[in-house]
Chain A
Amino acid sequence: MFEGIPLHWFLILGTIMFFVGIYGFLTRKNLITILMSIELILNSVNINFVAFNKFLYPDHLEGMFFTVFIIAVAAAETSIAIAIIINIYRRLVDIDVDKMNKMKY
């Protein structure tokens, strides 16, 4: 079903997605949007894993399992992050990352 698609296409796609995520991570102010950028980054990595698995080691399933686990970890991470964000929101009535510097020094 995927004949004719070189591996490099996937990798280029993953790279672009990854750095778009990085850009978002660096510029966004709202914590939830930062979280979304992280999801982008994770997703780009997933694409790479899956592509490598299919193109280089089609006999095994390592890449796929890695992706499954990453998805699981991402789910856990998101739930915790959102719990924290809600907590912060309760305290500060704002989730602007620039204002979260109470624990410096």
Chain B
Amino acid sequence: MQQLKKNNKTVGIYWLKESLENVTIVVKVKSKEEIMTLPKFDEYKDRSYEENIHVLNKTKINEYKFKWQEKMFSTHEFQKYSDTYNCSTETELKYHDMIKDPEMKPQKVFTYVNEDYHLPLPVVENKNKPASVPKLNTCFEKLNINSIGSFKNDSTSVGYLFKSQENISDHEQWVTMHVVLDNSEYNEESQILFKQEYNLVSLYHNITQNYLMVVPDVNNLHFNPYNVEDGDNILGYEYGVDIDFGKEEKGEDMEHLLNNLLKKWEKKKKQLLNFEMPPLGMKKTFITFEIVSAFGFEMDNMYIEFQIKIPDDITVNGDRKGRTHVSKSSRSEDDEVWRFGHVLELELEYATGIELSRLKVVLEAISVDWWGRHRTEGYSCLTLTLEPGEYKQILSCSRPEELDVVEAESRRFFVGGCHLIKDLDVLINPQMHEANFRYVSSGKISVLWRTLSQTQSSVSHTYLPDTSTDLLKGAEAVLKQYKKAKATLAAATKSFTKPEEQ
């Protein structure tokens, strides 16, 4: 039986992303195209053919636009509120002031806003909500011993009534607006003779959940017009509903999603490409210098003291001077070896394009005897190249000795101690100094150094990481998920209409 009654009106639910102030409700009303509505021959017989064609083609669609909670008045309301004596409440007085505006005129299609309290609010079932604390309190109230007797006397129908009301949510807050067609009859003085109003559209804004319920939903006036009806009465008008949500455009979500994705992409790219670089026009060189071992020296308990001479135009970060631990020898392949494995790290920064004088490393092998005297066993000087690569070198050491052998040996045996060369520049530039001593070869020191350099490369380092394809794949997956979620939402909102249709 339900199918026989033709009803094309459905409920629309819209989840709001922006405020309702931007929403425009458009109601288009037109007369039904029936035989009765066709122009009568007598009325048009005296007019020209062109005029008649123009009349027939003239669109009969009246369009009414309303903003959210915009009050428009019917003729009856206009009459009523124009007289101050009819206005007692604050709302009525406000309407009275509004009517004073000369631009305000009564309309055939007008509105009832939330302040009018004209139509009932929708009822929302509260199926999934857990029992709230106030309800718990009511339960306790019912369990009051004094009222047990009266509770027992409740009829079953009242019990069912309570039961049915449990599911109704009384916490939902609604703001409503109704667009109504005024079909009342008025006399010549605009006094109402017969009041007849037809509700065209009802809009309910659920403040709690922030969605808009539109009854009936948006339609197409040409393909699916709504009848203006009230119960069994169908009026000779058709209407269409349209809602403009303001700034919202199709694909806005997608744009927002892609923007977020782009931000993430940029962030990841920045993170990936955030390689520490030297300043522009500067070069950085990293040197790891390792004093590996010493061998062939005369005395035991050796340590190596080192000093690095760095040109003034190089900024250096790291120890320039220091010494290794004292090492007791061990025998390896018929030779005494002192193992150090002392790693020294240097970070040099200098301007590119200038000629640098090389780094000089002066090593002094010193022994400690059993009663604590330090003897210089030998000196060695190494010129460090800053060319990138890995270098190993075995440095021959020599120590200065007095020209007289006896004097030299006795001083070394009895006195020992102290650095033999106070100014190490003698080792770096021996030709610049007049020496009254000779050098005696003593032992060897094995060293190793690795050099890395870095400049602001002329080669663009804005390469795309390999993960770019993965990231794009991720983007596609996100879009797929988004579409899926959108479809789920559509299905979920569709289910809202089912109870209304039934």
Is A bound to B? no
Interface, chain B (partner A; CB < 8 A): none
Interface, chain A (partner B; CB < 8 A): none
